[in-house]
Structure 1
Amino acid sequence: MSLYVTELRRLGKRRFTRYMALIGLLVLLAVVVGTFFTNKQIGPEQRAAAERQAQSQYEEQVRYAERERNECERAEAAGETNPGRFPDDCSVITPPPRDAFQAQWYLPSTFDFRNNFGETLITYAAILGLIAFVVGASFVGAEWSTGGMMNLLLWRPKRLNVLLTKLAALLTGVVTVTVLGLLAWTAAFWAVGSLRGSTEKMTSGVWQSFALTSLRGFALVVVAAVIGFALASLGRHTAFALGGVLAVGVVGQFGLGVVLALADVRFPEAWLIPTYGLAWVGKEVKLENYDACNFSTSGDCQPDILTITWQHSSVLLVTGLVLALGAALWSMRSRDIA
């Protein structure tokens, strides 16, 4: 039996892999079920109810304005002054116009597949990326910590070949699960849109946009798996990868965010890794700085805007991938195994 097939079977039979896959499945299922029960399909009945509620809110404001105007006139006739409550001229107390109460504001939440499915792809990529990172780190880290890697290298002395074969087996599993999960994710939210929203206006251009977003999310999951694998191999323990991510993600990013905020940096989010992850999957992220006002011709305050695109994020992803995997391969080639 080939080493690749053996490693692939080992990946599938590991209890940790199965547990993580189950946890990921439950989380994704919870997202789908939560979306299903928090949305409703909008029909004539819902629109009529929203129209009635808008009319009711308008009538309530009319009654309130009339009461306030009467109180103002009574206070004016009695010579009472209450400048904090009533204006000098009671006639200015009038209800808002009817068109200020739009029926669409009172419609229940609905899932529009065209407008909302793209956001769910970010959620899918984030959850799968986290699971892929942990599984990738554990897959090779457990081999180092238990001595399995040393025993294997006694029979397969080609170090880089062994490490890359393990990586190939890991990526095969990650790719298979990610693709199948993405198909099920799309089908599930199509059902949510059909039963609890709308699936209208789905043109070929919309599907192409979703496909590109899915492809970027797929790439993020693969990169997360490779980096987790590389860091655990470099540190020869699963905890090295998990501890490194904890240090960078929690301590480093949180501490950096506090320092940047205290230093009054214009766009502190531009220095945080999650921003680039969102920009990669979602195509772009716009950061706004409201401390700087650019007054328009109408006198409105327009904040400074910094746009981070997926091209910017690709530089960070490729750099992290090359550094982590390159360091792991160099370490495997140059260091002693014992």
Structure 2
Amino acid sequence: MIRLTSVELRRLIARRLTVVGVAAVLLITAFLLFATWRNSQPLTAAEQQQNQVIFEQIHKDWELHGEENQAQCEKDWESQPDPKPTLEEMCNYTEPKLEDFGRPKTVFTEVIPDLLLGSSYLLAFAGFLIGASFLGAEFSSGAISNWLTFEPRRLRVYGSKLLALAVGMIPLAVVVLALVLGGTFLIIDHLGTTAGTTGKAWGDLTETAGRAVLLAAAAAALGGVVGSLLRHTAAAIGVAMGYVVLVEAVFGGFLTTAQPWLIRINFDAWVKHGTTYFVDKCQTSVDGGYFCETVEKTVSFEHGAWYLAVITVLLIAAGAGAFYRRDVN
């Protein structure tokens, strides 16, 4: 099995699409770092002067009409129908401060979680694409039948291909996530602030990156499974894109209560160690009115882990059964 896997790894690395995919991922990572650098740029002197002028105008208006506006707002609040917001939410005419105007400093601990999550999606997509192409091309070209003449034990061949895809994806994921973490820290340390980046914060970020690496490896293997089931790269990509559009976007958008059973939410729950989503809860009030409120729901890390594990095991088992029994010609 080890020798088979090493052979598959060499074949995977030698493929043109693998090289193109790796180059594309690295290029997109560089673009993410460039975008972070652009967004972290401090205000220019002209922008600071403009903010000063706007602040002085608003502060002057607050001095003249602040108490009047606050009193009128409180009066309007009393006549609001139930359910109504709190007084502090509706009427907040506190004194404006200069630091509230303009672009705030970029904070590393606030920016990096979203960058890691976005990089996780990028790596998972790239891994799925490379995996689907790796096995899909072998079936569509007929190369798999030639390979089985040298190694007729199908499950060993199937397992070695999936293992090679998973193992081969790990170095790319590690490099990309290290670039994102290190590059973002250096950029924001120079242009923004890295205050609050304690040892615990680094530990949490490292764990997040580790979970993203495992997910990228699993996505590559599952791409190989789908490619072997559909026997064509384009078909595998088409099915994946169809799922994203029809199920995740359309179905998930209309039936929000089903979100805990969609891949995206569980993907987020795994990477972020738990996530939240929102549903609209609508009901009729005592006076016959109809109103809706947005309720925040939670998907735990354990839920996401079990969900993704079950999906992975079922797909790999289905692929193994099809690979073992179906004609490869």
For normalisation by structure 2, the TM-score amounts to 0.80
Can you list the C-alpha shifts for 1:198-252, whole angstroms capped at 9, x where unaligned?
1222211111111221122222212211211111112222233212212222123
Map 1:287-326 to 2 at 5 A: 287-292=277-282, 303-326=294-317
The one-letter code matched in structure 1 to 2:209 is S
User: What does residue 18 of structure 2 align with?
Assistant: 17
Q: 1:120 and 1:208 mapped to 2: Cα distance?
A: 16
Query: Number of matched residues?
Result: 299
User: What does residue 54 of structure 1 align with?
Assistant: 55
1:284 and 2:274 equivalent?
A: yes
1:226 and 2:221 equivalent?
A: yes
User: What does residue 202 of structure 2 align with?
Assistant: 207
Q: 2:146 and 2:227 mapped to 1: Cα distance?
A: 18
Change (3 A) 1:332 1:48: same
TM-fit CA distance, 1:271: 4.5
On the 8 A contact 2:226/2:236 being kept in 1, the answer is: yes
- Report the 3-state secondary structure (helix = DSSP H, G, I; strand = E; otherwise coil) of the residue aligned with 2:122: helix
User: What does residue 89 of structure 1 align with?
Assistant: none
On the 8 A contact 1:130/1:224 being kept in 2, the answer is: yes
On the 8 A contact 2:281/2:293 being kept in 1, the answer is: no
On the 8 A contact 2:248/2:264 being kept in 1, the answer is: no
Q: 1:102 and 1:50 mapped to 2: Cα distance?
A: 11
Single out whichever of 48-57 and 183-192 deviates more from structure 2: 48-57
Map 1:1-338 to 2 at 5 A: 2-40=3-41, 53-60=54-61, 65=65, 99-257=94-252, 259-260=254-255, 267-292=257-282, 303-338=294-329
Can you list the C-alpha shifts for 1:92-119, whole angstroms capped at 9, x where unaligned?
xxxx998431333214243211222122
Larger radius of gyration: 1
The one-letter code matched in structure 2 to 1:175 is I
Q: 1:201 and 1:46 mapped to 2: Cα distance?
A: 28
Q: Which runs of 5+ in 1 are unaligned?
A: 70-95, 296-300
On the 8 A contact 1:40/1:108 being kept in 2, the answer is: no
- Report the 3-state secondary structure (helix = DSSP H, G, I; strand = E; otherwise coil) of the residue aligned with 1:108: coil
The one-letter code matched in structure 2 to 1:286 is T
TM-fit CA distance, 1:255: 3.6
User: What does residue 74 of structure 1 align with?
Assistant: none
TM-fit CA distance, 1:191: 1.2
Q: Between the two proteins, what is the percent identity of the paired residues? A: 25
Change (3 A) 1:158 1:183: same
Change (3 A) 1:332 1:268: closer
For normalisation by structure 1, the TM-score amounts to 0.78
Q: 1:101 and 1:168 mapped to 2: Cα distance?
A: 59
Can you list the C-alpha shifts for 1:122-178, whole angstroms capped at 9, x where unaligned?
011011111001001101111111111111111111111122222222222200111
- Report the 3-state secondary structure (helix = DSSP H, G, I; strand = E; otherwise coil) of the residue aligned with 1:198: coil
Q: 1:11 and 1:103 mapped to 2: Cα distance?
A: 57
